[in-house]
Structure 1
Amino acid sequence: MKSVLFCAGCSLLALAAPLSESAIAVSFDRMYVFGDSLSDTGNVSNVTRFVQTLDPSTSVQPPSPPYFQGRYSNGPLWVDYLADAFDVDLVPSSTLAFPAPITVTPSGSVTVNENFVGQTVDRSVNFAFGGAQSGLNNAVDPRLPGILRETNAFLGDHLAAGARADEDALYVVWAAGANDYQPSTFAEPDKAIASVMKNITQSITTLFDLGARNFLIPNAPNLGLTPLALAAGPQVSGLLTDISKGHNALLQSTLTSLGQSLTGAKLVSLDINGLLARAIADPGRYGFVETQTSCLNQVTLAVCDAPDQYLFWDGIHPSGKAHQVVSEFALATLHDAYDDGSVSVPEPEMGWLGAIALGGWLTWRRRRSVAA
């Protein structure tokens, strides 16, 4: 671990908020991400792009533009900004697969290639795939992995290399729930929630047993408040709200139990549900105007005039501006978890948030330009 100034774009933050260089928080030399489309920084895009070279009828997902550089939003994702704050180069796992992002069997079937030849050992890697469920499967395409398969791929590469997981790295595990809680689960939601918790527990335990010690575990947003759920009507919206509550209650008790059994692990819970509730209750605090509809028309792919005023980019995914808010909230949460309590960091809101977001954006753009 290394300590850095708490922010992305600290010079701008210094002008926007009364934080000094004494505001020191933890940072990490490496970062690993396991999740779904809320954290996928290009894996589905890379895989579908490669498949398209073999089958031109295949479309690249998500379509970029209007989606931003293979991300399920209109700008960098929260993990992009988090990696920037830690000054690490977070690469999609599909870019490390050797010799290509996919493998094709003699019969012609295609699957994601998880042969990384040890490259995940000393790199910051994002294993998240859009559509990932909490287990082995993917809700969008059965050939793509779920989160448990993502963690197994990390495990397999380290075992093949004879390496332990970096105990000083940060491990993000986010099963947001949208891909698990499909209509087929509505009749028995408690059973579905229990299954998701079993998968999350297995992913965390797998990483811990390999040597991981620092975990950031976001909870589920209120799935009933997404534009897609609201458009489906109050019955569906209400049910998804109840499922989200049940998910988060069991997640909290699960993390408490894991914290007691996994000696030496630091499990930091990130309350995305609470942040979303505050953003909807007081959108102006975060710079939003519209919280119930999406900026993007997913039928015509027409984009609204002011994307930064929208909480949601499409029916289920946050806007780029919302990802900025999430990233700063994550940094503040990590600060509180690792700091000795001598420094108080405010929750992100407009004023200082705008300066931080701009600083992070400029730094992230510079890094991308150099990498290109």
Structure 2
Amino acid sequence: MQLKSMNKFVSLSFAVTASTLTIGTAPVYAANCNLDFSQMFVFGDSLSDPGNTNGVTIKKPDLYFEGRASNGYVFADILAESCLGLDPVNFYRPSRGGESSDGANFAKGGNSSGDSGLGKQLNSFLGDLEGQPANSNALYTLWIGSTDYLFGTKNYIAGKSPNIVDTTVENVIDGIRDLYNVGARDFLIPNLLSFTNSDFHKIQGIDENIFNQLTDDHNQELELAIAEFEEEFSEVTITLLDVNSTFDNLLENPGEFGFTNVTDSWLECNKFKCTVNPADPDGISDGYLYWDYIHPTTKFYQLIANEAISALKSEYNQTVPEYNQDVPEYNQAVPEPTSTLSLLGLGLSFLGMSAFKQKDKQKQKQTV
């Protein structure tokens, strides 16, 4: 599907302005995974948001790279560019660049899996189809659910939403179903990350173990639901990405992944208000896992992209190099040291990857 409601825009440049710094190193492969996806469509929350929310939720975006909830590019950016050679347009803020012929990113920070979040994103995509089938040769990514728990756990504890896990997983599966019904066949679905070491639970006044238990329950139920969907519809290929295991390994062995601080955020945050770290005003954040109270740094996204690309290349029996921190990374933006930001409302998810399964693109379509 080429988006009819948008013209092509200038592609995002990976060069940064003179006011930004390049920090850290992490592996990024060349833009060729030998995959035949002609487009990529992204749905999710702040960890996939390429700047769609900027100007709506974020009042002072200087601390965050081009409206992203990080100091640089997020996972969807890196995977699309470094592996698929694609630059999906920001659907809600197309002036930021990208190519509509490469697909679109609908993800918005703070969005939940419900009708007001993922539902609206899907409606935007389906409406733009204008009754035509979706591109069956595109990769569709749905990475969403953590916001449901971040802002719904208090109600869960109070007994007001006892079925929060069932509802959230059902919303994700319904999203896959809606896309499948219009022709989508290849999906990349990350599970959710534990909230270990983030400051969000402290801000909410909730034991992080409660968050983590909900996350574990979600991941188990999501895995079962995806298996059932694949069993019923043989044409679909759903790649479940196990971010939780990757993240746990990182927390246990940070040095092996090139991280030096997995407990503090680089930004100094007082609840949801963050400022430049006074101990590091020049923005040398290399080695930090968290950029703010809950969102990761680009270094983490690059780690996950590296693992994802390795899995993709391995699936096609290609030689995959070992993790190499000396490979130049994407440039990351660091703000001037006078900026302050209120980020209340930005949601999250994380990403890890298991394997990518190739499927026959020529099989006859099925309808759920």
Determine if contact 2:145/2:168 at 8 Å carries over to the other structure.
Answer: no
Q: Matched residues in 2 for 1:132 and 1:264: separation?
A: 29
**Structure 1 residue aligned with 2:291, among 303, 306, 313?**
313
Q: Name the SS of the counterpart of 2:54 in structure 1.
A: helix
- What's the offset of the Cα at 1:134? 0.6
CA distance change for structure 1 residues 130 and 232 in 2, over 3 Å: closer, same or farther? closer
CA distance change for structure 1 residues 187 and 253 in 2, over 3 Å: closer, same or farther? farther
Q: Name the SS of the counterpart of 1:279 in structure 2.
A: helix
Q: Matched residues in 2 for 1:308 and 1:344: separation?
A: 28
TM-score norm. by structure 2 comes to 0.72
CA distance change for structure 1 residues 130 and 286 in 2, over 3 Å: closer, same or farther? same
Q: Matched residues in 2 for 1:263 and 1:353: separation?
A: 39
Q: Matched residues in 2 for 1:262 and 1:291: separation?
A: 41
Q: Matched residues in 2 for 1:95 and 1:232: separation?
A: 31
Q: Matched residues in 1 for 2:169 and 2:58: separation?
A: 28
Question: Which residue identity is paired with 2:195?
Answer: L
CA distance change for structure 1 residues 261 and 91 in 2, over 3 Å: closer, same or farther? same
Q: Matched residues in 2 for 1:148 and 1:333: separation?
A: 30
Q: Matched residues in 2 for 1:151 and 1:259: separation?
A: 21
Are 2:41 and 1:32 aligned?
A: yes
Are 2:233 and 1:262 aligned?
A: yes
Q: Which residue of 1 aligns with 2:251?
A: 280
Q: Matched residues in 1 for 2:191 and 2:102: separation?
A: 26
Determine if contact 2:77/2:87 at 8 Å carries over to the other structure.
Answer: no
TM-score norm. by structure 1 comes to 0.71
Q: Matched residues in 2 for 1:245 and 1:180: separation?
A: 12
Q: Which residue of 1 aligns with 2:132?
A: 163
Q: Which residue of 2 aligns with 1:209?
A: 181
**Structure 2 residue aligned with 1:302, among 276, 285, 292?**
276
Q: Which residue of 2 aligns with 1:84?
A: 81
List per-residue Cα deviations over 1:244-270 (Å, max 9, x = no partner): 100100010011011112231110011
- What's the offset of the Cα at 1:344? 5.7
Q: Matched residues in 2 for 1:185 and 1:263: separation?
A: 36
CA distance change for structure 1 residues 24 and 154 in 2, over 3 Å: closer, same or farther? closer
The structure with the greater share of residues assigned to helix is 1
Q: Name the SS of the counterpart of 2:210 in structure 1.
A: helix
Unaligned runs of 5+ in 2: 1-13, 15-25, 334-368
Q: Percent identity?
A: 29
1:27-66 matches, within 5 Å, as 27-46=36-55, 48=56, 61=58, 63-66=60-63
- What's the offset of the Cα at 1:210? 0.8
**Structure 1 residue aligned with 2:118, among 147, 160, 184?**
147
List per-residue Cα deviations over 1:160-211 (Å, max 9, x = no partner): 2x32111111100011413444222234575100000110011000111111
CA RMSD between the two structures: 3.0
**Structure 2 residue aligned with 1:292, among 244, 255, 263?**
263
With a CA cutoff of 8 Å and minimum separation of 6, indicate the structure with the bigger relative contact order.
2
